[in-house]
Amino acid sequence: MGMALGGCKGGPVSDPNIVPLIDVLLVLIIIFMVITPNAPTGLPTLVPQAPPPHSKPEPPDPHTIVVQVMQGGKLMINQEQSDWNVLGTRLSDIFKQRADKVAFVEGAEEVPFAEVARAIDIMRGAGIEHVGLITAGDNVRTEPL
């Protein structure tokens, strides 16, 4: 901390000491770097792997539950007609006695994704832990309930 006083004609000249200012700024930068949260992560996903070439396809599990969202707001659980109002309670009843809580949802091509997302939300609310998506190329045969 020094101040240079010169013998100039204009009067005293002071040179400010900016070292403490730089120290404070460096401490603030470090504090903001530490408290900055990590980048947000999305939902954990499992990406299906392609089967090895020349392998036989596995038959589907007969206990697989597939919720189909069809055009016009129609729903089907496997091959049973359902309604949006009873979807959650029906799925809760189905999965009440099951150990693995896995189900799939399939949306018709002309159905907006918002309806498929609504079905996924209801399925998660019914206690289904893992919800898989079935695309147009997948052939999943289900048994009636």
Expressed in angstroms, the distance from the first to the final Cα of the chain is: 84
Residue 94 lies in a domain: yes
Give the domain CATH number at 127.
Answer: 3.30.420.270
Residue 95 lies in a domain: yes
Q: What total number of domains does the chain contain?
A: 1
Lowest mean pLDDT among 25-34, 100-109, 129-138: 129-138
Which tokens go with 19?
């070292």
Q: What percent of the chain shows pLDDT beyond 90?
A: 13
In tens, the pLDDT along 1-40 reads: 555 555 556 667 777 888 899 999 999 999 988 887 776 6
Which tokens go with 33?
């770097």
Q: Are 103 and 123 in contact (CB under 8 A)?
A: yes
Residue 55 lies in a domain: no
Cβ burial, residue 78 (10 Å; 0-12/13-18/19+): middle
Residue 129 lies in a domain: yes
Q: Which residues, 6+ apart, have CB-to-CB distance to 105 below 8 Å?
A: 66, 67, 68, 69, 116, 119, 120, 123, 131, 132, 133, 134
- Rounded to an integer, what distance in angstroms lies between the CA atom of residue 77 and that of residue 145? 8
- Mean confidence (pLDDT) of the chain: 80
Residue 9 lies in a domain: no
* pTM (whole model) above 0.75: no
- Rounded to an integer, what distance in angstroms lies between the CA atom of residue 69 and that of residue 119? 8
pLDDT reported for residue 50: 73
Query: What is the rounded average pLDDT of the residues 109-133?
Result: 89
Residue 103 lies in a domain: yes
